[in-house]
Amino acid sequence: MISEALYVRVPRAEVSLLRYILEAEDGLALPTTIGADSAGREVVQLRFAPGARASLLRALTAAAPLCTAEILS
């Protein structure tokens, strides 16, 4: 099975929270930190199963008050 990817940018202090949120959603996506920009925000790759994109976007939207993830692609 080939996974899909979504890239998000989050403040460095919220990377652990993002990982926790995704684990709480039955391991919906596997986050991997790619690097940081000059403002200290981390780019995180989220790998997920085909067909799970809508669920992942719903989870990120629901978590928005806690974790400010900016979707890049």
Letter for the amino acid at 63?
A
State residue 3's pLDDT score: 93
Phi and psi, residue 18, nearest 5°: -60, -45
Domains in the chain (CATH in brackets) are 4-71 (3.30.70)
CA 38/CA 52 separation, integer angstroms: 31
Structure confidence by residue, pLDDT tens digits, 3-35: 999 999 999 999 999 999 999 989 999 999 999
Average pLDDT over all residues of the chain: 93
State residue 4's pLDDT score: 95
Is pLDDT at 40 greater than 90 in this prediction?
Answer: no
Q: Which residue has the tokens 């989220």?
A: 46
CA 63/CA 23 separation, integer angstroms: 13
State residue 63's pLDDT score: 93
For a pLDDT cut of 90, what percent of the chain falls above it?
88
pTM, two decimal places? 0.90
Centroid of chain to Cα 51: 16
